Amino acid sequence: MVASPGATPKPGDIVVSRTNDGSHRYLVGRSGEPPQIMCVTREEATAQADRFARTHHVAVWQTEDSRTFTRIFETRPASSREDLRREAL
């Protein structure tokens, strides 16, 4: 995992989050959109997110509170990652 203080998912990135209803399930969806997949384990959710991200060349993020994000995988081409680094500066 890549700690990214202050960083947030870009539109289209995948976000893995835990439900807050006590069921301890995990949700997977695109940033800024409602979750599309519910999984029983974090591992399952991360695997689903990783497969999608690799196909669509986006990043995967994890959040516990929908405010703080940690980037788990980065599947963008190197040139796109460099553009994102410049934007952050």
Helix/strand/coil (H/E/C) assignment for every residue in 34-77: CCCEEECCHHHHHHHHHHHHHHHCCEEEEECCCCCEEEEEECCC
Which residue ranges make up each domain of the chain?
2-88
Describe the strand order of the beta sheet including 26-30 as a list of residue ranges. Answer: 2-3, 69-74, 59-63, 14-18, 26-30, 37-39
For the full predicted model, state whether its pTM sits above 0.85. Answer: no
pLDDT tens for residues 38-83? Answer: 999 999 999 999 999 999 999 999 998 888 899 998 887 766 555 5
Could you tell me which residues come within 8 angstroms of residue 18 by beta carbon, excluding any fewer than 6 positions away? 24, 25, 26, 27, 42, 64
